[in-house]
Amino acid sequence: MPNLRDIRRRIRSVKSTQQITKAMKMVAAAKLRRSQENMIAARPYATKMLDVLNSLAARADQELHPLLRVREEKVVRVLVVTADRGLCAAFNTNILRRASHFVAEREGLGQAVSLELAGRKCLDYFKRRPTPVEDTWTGLFNHLHYEDADRIAGTLMRAYTEERCDAIYLIYNRFKSMISQEVVVEPLLPISRLEPAGESAGPDYLYEPTQQELFNTLLPRHVTFQVFRALLESAAAENAARMTAMESATNNAGDMIDRLTLYANRVRQAAITKEIIEVVSGAQALG
């Protein structure tokens, strides 16, 4: 049985841990508020741009722009987005498991798969595995900017236009609520095309300037913003997962402190009882 000093030392240690997890929860909550506002502001623009580009692409010749060209998927590239740090429950584990399954599925179909990694956790995971890694980005989520997405999207678009891959996918955590995140796999390139069906497709558009100039401007911007939206979603989901995990850890530490305090009281009471018995036994022996 541990002595009372060891139990009290354990209680102090758990209280120190509880203070840390409580502080981390407050930091995550503050970051979540900002990242959630940025994500919600970006969603309508990204969704509307996707709808417009799908509609325009459906009416355009796919040879009009390299990002519209559809090829047989023999070589696939995947952008995997995780966090740079842990202590956010199953946030990273769910992403890495889904990415591993995706790679296994595509390789089972005879396709070659390579990875683009955003986040230190996915880098640490895949550097010990045989799947080739093309580029890595870490430290993005401390201060996430549009320029970060522009660099990543530029790398992806160059790989696609130079025909080093036939399709590009995104795998990331989508923010659903404070306690729920959803792992999603989304196609990024080529630009998806909604096939018009008869009269429901409506008339074609009049372009000013030319259709070629319009696509040269809009398509790269669209790809960049879709990457930016995925990074924003992942940042908000990470902060929500970390806040939830730290709240749970703080509550568990409180429960542990209560159990240890009760146990310490029992040990102290047992020691007092033992001393009283020894005193009484000694008095009786002298009498």
Report phi then psi at 83, rounded to 5: -85, 165
Determine how β-strand 167-177 pairs with β-strand 180-189. Answer: antiparallel
- Global pTM? 0.84
H helix intervals, the chain: 4-58, 91-108, 120-126, 146-161, 211-286
**Do residue 255 and residue 155 come from a single domain?**
no
Place of tokens 């009290």: 8
Least confident stretch, 84-98, 202-216, 243-257: 202-216
Active site residue 88: yes
**Do residue 169 and residue 266 come from a single domain?**
no
Domain residue limits at 260: 4-21+246-282
**Do residue 116 and residue 218 come from a single domain?**
yes
Q: Which residue is catalytic, options 39, 79, 88, 149?
A: 88
Express each pLDDT in 152-206 by its tens digit: 999 999 999 998 999 999 999 998 887 888 899 999 988 876 554 444 455 666 7
Tell whether 66 is covered by a domain: yes
**Do residue 13 and residue 84 come from a single domain?**
no
**Do residue 255 and residue 235 come from a single domain?**
no
Structure-token pair, residue 102: 């995706």
Kindly provide the b/e burial profile for residues 112-121, where b requires at least 16 CB atoms within 10 angstroms of the residue's own CB. Answer: ebbbbbbbbb
Express each pLDDT in 67-121 by its tens digit: 888 889 999 999 999 999 888 888 999 999 999 999 999 999 999 999 999 999 9
CATH code: domain of residue 138: 3.40.1380.10
How many domains does the chain contain in total? 2
Express each pLDDT in 11-46 by its tens digit: 899 999 999 999 998 988 888 888 888 888 888 888
Which pLDDT value is given to residue 195? 55
Which pLDDT value is given to residue 199? 43
